[in-house]
Amino acid sequence: MAPSGRRSITIEAPVMITSNKVAVWMDEEWMHDFFDFLKKHKLKLCALHHKQRKIKLTFINAKECTMFGLKYAGRKK
């Protein structure tokens, strides 16, 4: 869950950064499912940054970030 007052959260994701700084998704279905999840819950992102096996999400405000953290943690895997 996102700490109170923060707009960003980092989560595990099947993404790999190559030596020439290109993000490669290891599981295309995960990416589609993730963006469908955001759309279904009407969560609005400001930015998405790829990291090695993680993505950093920045939301429009702290409330959106907290709502994402709660809903994402409670999703069915």
Show the tokens assigned to 70. Answer: 């709660």
Q: What does the alpha-carbon distance between residue 38 and residue 23 come to, in Å, rounded to a whole number?
A: 20
* pLDDT per position as a tens digit, 31-55: 999 999 999 999 999 999 999 999 9
Give the 3-state secondary structure of residue 69: helix
pTM: 0.82
Write down the pLDDT at residue 77: 60
Mean pLDDT across the chain, nearest whole number?
A: 89
**Residue 4 predicted with pLDDT over 60:** no
Assign 28 a pLDDT band (cuts: 50, 70, 90): confident
Average pLDDT of span 3-29: 88
**Which has more pLDDT, 10 or 5?**
10
